[in-house]
Amino acid sequence: MQSKAGTLNHSKRAKNDEFYTLYRDVADELSLYKEQFRGRRILCPCDRDDSPFVKFLASHADNYGLKSITASGFDSSSMKGVKFQDIDYGEYDLVITNPPFSLFRKFIQTMFGNKLKFLVIGPANAMTYKDIFVHVMKNEMWLGHHHHLTGFALPDGTILPKNDALVRYCCWYTNLDVSCRHDRINLTEEYDPKLNPTYCNYDGIDVKKTAKIPYNYSGNMGVPVTFMQKYNPDQFEIIGSSQMFTSEVPVALRGKIQSGRFYIQTHDGCFQRLFDRIVIRNKMVCHNVDDSY
């Protein structure tokens, strides 16, 4: 039997998962896909007819040349609607919504399982989920135009700005073409072994910021997850992530290391555990260059 405290904690988690998207954020993002929406049969599977998604699409249906707009959000209190897992997606070719963050993995699996185009909101750290990252690595999904939302509304109408709580730090994910993915990052930094130390438990160097990626290094580099905001698949190849590549560690760390992260050795001989890293390679650098220096 679940304890009273357990029941309260469950209720709190369920409430914290119930954030509603602001119309402004929907309009800002969706307005950038006008031609890609044309002729589409659009489904909003986690929304009702009064949601910002449906309101925006309905008001632009003729101008955008939409074939249909359907909302089928499931309401657990009234048991009306259809759960997104139970929808027949054969009648649709584009999904636009803000799915429950607790079900984001399952939702993305459903999209790929039904070979659908999608434009959805998800937690920013979903990029580090192994079952999400595999699609990112294969260049099957990526970030949308806006990497931050201005805020969310609670069920009681309260507006919460984007920086009130980490749980609401989120962004757009899609497999529709995004123009900024074709912009190359202007690299100005040279490789420096002091500024770009080699990992203790992986054959690659660390780059603290996307702007600090060396233009003359051809090997594997670990970069922050925020690199995905600038990622151009013609300029860089994604090799994997720190969660995939951690290997044998120094003797001093055995029994203490936490999996899924890279370590570097600091000047005082200590070992520093880093945040999640995406491992990339610069396609524009010739591989006969000696990067060892």
Q: One-letter amino acid identity for 174?
A: T
Query: For residues 149 and 144, what is the distance between their CA atoms, to the nearest angstrom?
Result: 11
Place of tokens 């595999």: 134
Q: What pLDDT does residue 17 have? A: 53
* pLDDT tops 80 at residue 73: yes
Q: Which class does domain 4-180 fall in?
A: alpha beta
Tokens of 155: 């069920």
Residue pair 95/120 in contact by the 8 Å Cβ criterion: yes
Q: What is the largest CA-CA distance in the chain?
A: 66
Residue pair 198/205 in contact by the 8 Å Cβ criterion: yes
135 pLDDT band (50/70/90 cuts)? very high
Of residues 122, 177, 115, 168, the one with CA closest to residue 145: 177
Of residues 218, 193, 202, 226, the one with CA closest to residue 280: 218
Strands 68-71 and 41-44, by their bridges, are parallel
Q: What pLDDT does residue 12 have? A: 38
Most confident stretch, 16-30, 77-91, 209-223, 235-249: 209-223
Q: Domain residues of the chain, as ranges?
A: 4-180, 205-282
**Over the stretch 158-183, which tens digit does the pLDDT of each residue have?**
888 765 445 457 899 999 999 999 99
Mean per-residue pLDDT, 230-239: 96
Q: What pLDDT does residue 267 have? A: 84
Mean per-residue pLDDT, 276-284: 95
Of residues 45, 54, 52, the one with CA closest to residue 150: 52
Q: One-letter amino acid identity for 183?
A: D
Strand partners, 68: 41
Give the other-Cβ count within 10 Å of 279's Cβ.
21
Give the pTM: 0.85
**Over the stretch 2-19, which tens digit does the pLDDT of each residue have?**
333 333 333 333 445 567
Q: Over pLDDT 70: what percentage of the chain?
A: 84
Q: Between the CA atoms of 38, 63, 84 and 137, what dihedral angle is there, to the nearest 10 degrees?
A: 50
266 pLDDT band (50/70/90 cuts)? confident
**Over the stretch 237-261, which tens digit does the pLDDT of each residue have?**
999 999 888 755 556 665 555 567 8
Q: Over pLDDT 90: what percentage of the chain?
A: 62
- Write the burial class of residue 170 (CB in 10 Å: 0-12 exposed, 13-18 middle, 19+ buried): buried
Of residues 277, 293, 287, the one with CA closest to residue 219: 287
Q: What pLDDT does residue 3 have? A: 39
Rg (CA), the chain: 22
Tokens of 49: 């007819």
Of residues 173, 191, 193, the one with CA closest to residue 181: 173
Q: One-letter amino acid identity for 162?
A: K
Residue pair 168/162 in contact by the 8 Å Cβ criterion: yes
